[in-house]
Amino acid sequence: MTSHQSTQTMKPATAAKKLGVYLEATPAEFREGVVSRAELNELQANPPQWLQDLRRNGPHPRPVVAAKLGVSIAGLARGGVTEPLTTDQIETLKQESPEWLVRERATQEEVRKEAARIKKKNAQRNG
């Protein structure tokens, strides 16, 4: 019995997520097609100019915005940020440091500390 490996493809939304870019900002030919695993690997290894520009300037999807601001995605929503932001908009938010951002960063720091504490406790128990 021989197995034939079929070409894995994904929807543009999945590929955009894996590339860390906002789908609606990608070129039409990217949004309207399907992306094979080989094409995704090539985009990651040798990003074309449009992908480099999107990664540098945005607009960025919520997971990227949250990471750049040091908050959770839920924290973004609580802060009223529901739309993709550009790098400049993110930098402006960092400089203005609104109350919600300060609060959400503190919350995120507590979550990280608690996760580290639990990890350490589990390591001691298992080690």
Residues in the chain: 127
pLDDT recorded at residue 25: 94
Phi, psi of 72 (to 5 degrees): -85, 165
pTM of the model: 0.78
pLDDT recorded at residue 1: 47
Does an H or E element contain 59, and which? none
pLDDT recorded at residue 7: 76
DSSP letters, 62-116, are HHHHHHHHTS-HHHHHHTT--S-B-HHHHHHHHHH--HHHHHHHHHHHHHHHHHH
pLDDT recorded at residue 125: 85
Query: Which residues, given as ranges, of the chain have pLDDT below 70?
Result: 1-6, 127
pLDDT recorded at residue 124: 87
Task: Determine contact, residues 73/82, Cβ cutoff 8 Å.
Answer: no
